[in-house]
Structure 1
């Protein structure tokens, strides 16, 4: 009888992954890329925080494309996230992954049209609690 009165709730756990990236050319640009995923609702989100900024920039998921790189090998997944800064769409991040490995990360600024390349810094200590320790 008690089960009929109390609503049943599913425990939803959001997993967070933090990756640290460094620019490949030009100025020394570093940013933290966070993804969030809720397995119950199938919701995902992301955000970036540049090393010289206290404020994170929210990202909105656009799409994921998958590609077979070699027959019998793991797929490459290219995911695009749109940057929304102060309510305006200002750019996009494109990340290509193969398993746990990040093959490429690009940022395109919509206003200037410039595209920037980044490498994942796998030596950087990072966690959901502390982020990237620049």
Structure 2
């Protein structure tokens, strides 16, 4: 849909960056306090989420420290408390880094922020180094 509002959120040890997109253009963006899933308490992450735009259709929320399927489920559950009707995808900053750099192609992506990690993909095989796993 052309009129869909899409919210992208990426959090780490220094900040949480976000952008709201509609009709292919960024209409609002900003930076908030850190939101590393392993270092930031869930109530603080929820507090950060609650100041973000609410009227959205789709959300991608990717936080450092979101390393396992259990982490993804917990992050998704937390996001759904704020945006119960949105279509939400949750994952790690590794995932958003790979998507931004490579889309579906093979290659290597480096995250170099407060923390650092390297992720490589060849076909269905994915290897990680650094980070939380």
Bigger radius of gyration: 1
Give the TM-score, by structure 2 length.
0.32
Structure holding more helix per residue = 2
Give the TM-score, by structure 1 length.
0.32
